[in-house]
Amino acid sequence: MMRPLALLAVMLLCGAARADELPALRRGINVLGYDGIWNGEVDNPFRMNDFDRIRAAGFDHVRINFFGLRHMDATGKLGRTALAALDKAIDGAIARGLVVVLDQHQNEECVTTPLLCKDKLVAFWKQVSTRYAGTRPALLYEILNEPGGVMTHEQWNDALADALAEIRAHDRERPVVVAALNVGGPVAVTQLRLPPDDRRLIVTVHYYEPMRFTHQSAPWSPDYAKFRNVAWGAADSRAAVEADFAPAAAWARENGRPMWLGEFGVYDKAPPLSRAAWTRHVARAAEKSGWGWAFWEFDHEFAAIDIATGAWRQDLLDALMDKPPANP
Ligand code: GLC
């Protein structure tokens, strides 16, 4: 049995302690997914000084939702307008002291045609990792948002390995976020196959359970659009969150992998008190598991702001930042 100090020395020599140097993703928020910034700034309500508001509200990072594969031409080349917008968004956030996770959010090809997806992802990350290599240490890459659908664990492990190898060919140090297959809950992390020597990885899951609560009245959700006034907060519903996180948290500890809850949120038609209660509970459950989190989302349908006035929804912000509710 190795003594603790000797073990520490071996870990340092092997570079294993480098995981400590990964940027801390503590409290974050998803931004820009549905903004017109990517398409020549038509219908683009997000302003660069919204990053100031985000920072001032207590967030330390943003997850920039970039539907990157959509901006590739038939040869796989990323368009100049979208790339210029990407520079602007990344630099705008970093200039305000925010860490940025660049999330390749476009997953339609991936959940329907996994092989096509793999080729496109590799082409995407080749261009992006070349573009930003050696710059912007506060920038992280997230290979793919919500892999899933018909994609199997095997296919995802294969695609992520190729995309990661492409990134590492250009940028050895960049912290990279890897999602578990978005199927069956956070326990899916146990099926991930990651290169054991790459300690610059953060593993991510999303959480929206129970869907009939978080997605109630969402018109685009065939299963949940019909639900109205679904409340949340019973003791067993609360306990279910910790139970869902537990196997992923155990896996993360055993494998020495940092975890991050990259999305969680409630559609804005849900009863406000329940919406804030769920948000508070899930954020705390993540923190207790040692995971940072990013709320879904700043504006648009699961918005943390009031779309009409642009002001924060104070109840949600208090829930996220662990401040007592104004009217308990
Ligand atoms: C995913 C989708 C996004 C949706 C969210 C909640 O991130 O890309 O459009 O709003 O999940 O369902």
Atom of ligand 1 at shortest range from CA of 218: 12
Average pLDDT, the chain: 94
Atom of ligand 1 at shortest range from CA of 30: 7
Burial of 117 from C-beta contacts in 10 A (0-12 / 13-18 / 19+): buried
Q: Calculate the alpha carbon distances from 222 to 110, 212, 213, 218, 283 in Å.
A: 21, 11, 14, 8, 27
**233 Cα–ligand 1 center, Å:** 23
> pLDDT above 70 covers what percent of the chain?
93
Q: Whose CA is nearest to atom 1 of ligand 1?
A: 146
Q: Whose CA is nearest to atom 5 of ligand 1?
A: 296
**197 Cα–ligand 1 center, Å:** 32
Q: Calculate the alpha carbon distances from 104 to 69, 146, 267, 279 in Å.
A: 8, 10, 22, 24
| Residue 321 identity (one-letter amino acid) | M
Q: Return the CATH architecture of domain 24-320.
A: Alpha-Beta Barrel (3.20)
pLDDT at 2 over 50: no
pLDDT at 3 over 90: no
Q: How confident is the model at residue 21 (pLDDT cuts 50, 70, 90)?
A: confident
Which of 263, 275, 301 to probe ligand 1 with, by most ligand atoms within 8 A of CB? 263
* Residues flanking ligand 1, CB < 6 Å: 263, 296, 301-302
Cis peptide bond N-terminal to 242, omega within 30: no
Q: How confident is the model at residue 141 (pLDDT cuts 50, 70, 90)?
A: very high
Atom of ligand 1 at shortest range from CA of 302: 10
**321 Cα–ligand 1 center, Å:** 22
Residue 86 backbone phi and psi in degrees, to 5: -65, -45
Cα 199 to Cα 310: distance, rounded to the nearest angstrom:
40
pLDDT at 140 over 70: yes
Atom of ligand 1 at shortest range from CA of 107: 8
Classify residue 289 as left (phi > 0), alpha (psi -120 to 50) or beta: alpha
Cα 286 to Cα 292: distance, rounded to the nearest angstrom:
7
**17 Cα–ligand 1 center, Å:** 35
> pLDDT above 90 covers what percent of the chain?
91
**74 Cα–ligand 1 center, Å:** 26
This model's pTM is above 0.75: yes
pLDDT at 31 over 90: yes
Structure tokens given for 244: 């869902």
Residues 6+ apart with CB under 8 A from 109: 69, 116, 117, 120
Atom of ligand 1 at shortest range from CA of 105: 8
Structure tokens given for 71: 């901006």
